[in-house]
Amino acid sequence: MEILVVDDKETLSALVAQFLGRSYTVHTQANGLRALGWLQQGNLPDLIITDLEMPEMDGFEFIKQLKASGIFADIPVIVLSCRESSADRIACLKLGASDYMIKPFNPEELLIRVDKLLVRQ
């Protein structure tokens, strides 16, 4: 199973990729625009983990475009953000995100949430 991690901070992407890479194949992209391009090249991950604050295309717009497309709309999305506001969490869930975690996060908790979402598919 494959996971796409979308975050402009390479250290965080590398940490997530290293931890989840024990159980899954992990790909990384630096922002929503690059991630959409990667998806449109025919890549179809089983789950996407995205940040909200990124250059070129933020996480809100990325989720919006992802869910509006027929092909990628069913891919579960976990938002991993330092934004703690309830309004941001609600906005992401309304856009179609499956889950929302706040940074800093416990990698083990992230793995459990990923496992649960992928088992449901």
Tally Cβ neighbours within 10 Å of residue 92.
Answer: 23
Tens digits of per-residue pLDDT, 27-68? 999 999 999 999 999 999 999 999 999 999 999 999 999 999
Per DSSP, what are the bridge partners of residue 49? 5, 78
What mean pLDDT is predicted for residues 19-27? 96
- CATH number for the domain formed by residue range(s) 2-120: 3.40.50.2300
Residue range 77-110, pLDDT digits in tens:
999 999 999 999 999 999 999 999 999 999 999 9
Q: How far apart are CA 64 and CA 43, in angstroms?
A: 18
For residues 106 and 57, what is the distance between their CA atoms, to the nearest angstrom? Answer: 26
